[in-house]
Structure 1
Amino acid sequence: MDPADDLSLPFLLSAAFDSLVDAVHARLAAEGFPGIRAVHGFAMQAISAGCTSAELGQRLGVSKQAATQTAKALTALGLVERTADPTDRRAIVLVPTDRGIEMLERSARAFREEIARWRARVGEQSIDSLLRTLTAVTDG
């Protein structure tokens, strides 16, 4: 496929995303965080300081059932814990554990280092231009 072919763009974006995420996940696994998937990182970012499963679903744009399954997976990985909501006795709040916070910190560091490798490979200007372009076409 000709790299200048517009139709190659979705495939190249997907391959770049997969390559980046796979490298970060391999590093996380080597650092004691096996089994991390992209959805886990997105969910951890969405959980932030805490939220219910329903709120997680809204933040991720998925059903409450899908959010609940993701929360169960994060709990099994030791990344979040379920706590009682102090304002609503019926609600359960998902909050990151210390391990979850550490995973996010290591993940952020790994992403920065992988992007630094991209910068070394294709140049600062190319990556800066790519970031500007992706920001513009996705409305930031």
Structure 2
Amino acid sequence: MTSSAAAGYELPLLLFGGFRAIIDELHGELARRGHQDLRPAHGFAMQAIGFRGATASEVGRRLGISKQAAGKTIERLEALGYAQRAGDSADRRRKLTRLTPRGVAALTLSAEIFGDIRDRWARTLGDDRVADLEASLRTMVPGETFRLDVPGWFGAS
């Protein structure tokens, strides 16, 4: 088997392995900095809620999961102090989930840690190689570079 044939099945595994290594490192550092209760699915859910807030239906749609599953995730984020639900002042029929100051702080810290991880990769691999990798992935990744529906996409149908 040639090395190019091996790369065919290896490429998605290496990309996923890199993603997993980054996410695992992020959550290890979050735990060390006081957010030991956060899990990767929580991060996706907080991104889906965003800084403007979202309903459970909107969170579910953004994550590619059911409204009920989104509701359970939101309940967990509420119990952990990262989100809270309240009525929407623009539409009283809607229940809007918003990030608490703790939730915003966790997302802000996550962005800082991602920057630290990228810097370490650049020190290890070289700035040019990391920049080339990012540019190559931007070329190959269609449309949006960040889709929130990873949890739903990995789920069984």
Q: Same fold, TM exceeding 0.5? A: yes
Aligned partners of 2:85 and 2:140: how far apart in 1?
37
Alpha-carbon displacement from aligned partner over 1:107-131 (angstroms, at most 9, x marks no partner): 1100100111001010111111111
Task: Show the counterpart of 2:22.
Answer: 20
Task: Show the counterpart of 2:116.
Answer: 113
SS at match of 2:9: helix
Task: Show the counterpart of 2:153.
Answer: none
Structure 1, unpaired ranges of 5+: none
Superposition pairs of residues 54-65 of structure 1, within 5 angstroms = 54-65=57-68
Superposition pairs of residues 1-140 of structure 1, within 5 angstroms = 5-48=7-50, 49-139=52-142, 140=145
So what's the TM-score if we normalise by structure 1?
Answer: 0.91
Aligned length: 139
Q: CA deviation at 1:47?
A: 0.8
Aligned partners of 1:39 and 1:136: how far apart in 2?
27
Q: CA deviation at 1:91?
A: 2.1
User: Structure 1 stretches (4+) deviating beyond 3 angstroms?
Assistant: none
Compute the RMSD of aligned alpha carbons: 1.6
- Greater mean deviation of Cα atoms: 105-114 or 10-19: 10-19
Aligned partners of 2:29 and 2:123: how far apart in 1?
19
Structure 2, unpaired ranges of 5+: 146-157
Q: Which structure exhibits the higher relative contact order, with contacts defined as CA atoms closer than 8 Å and separated by 6 or more residues? A: 2
Amino acid at match of 2:80: L
Q: CA deviation at 1:15?
A: 1.2
Amino acid at match of 1:60: L
Aligned partners of 1:136 and 1:38: how far apart in 2?
26
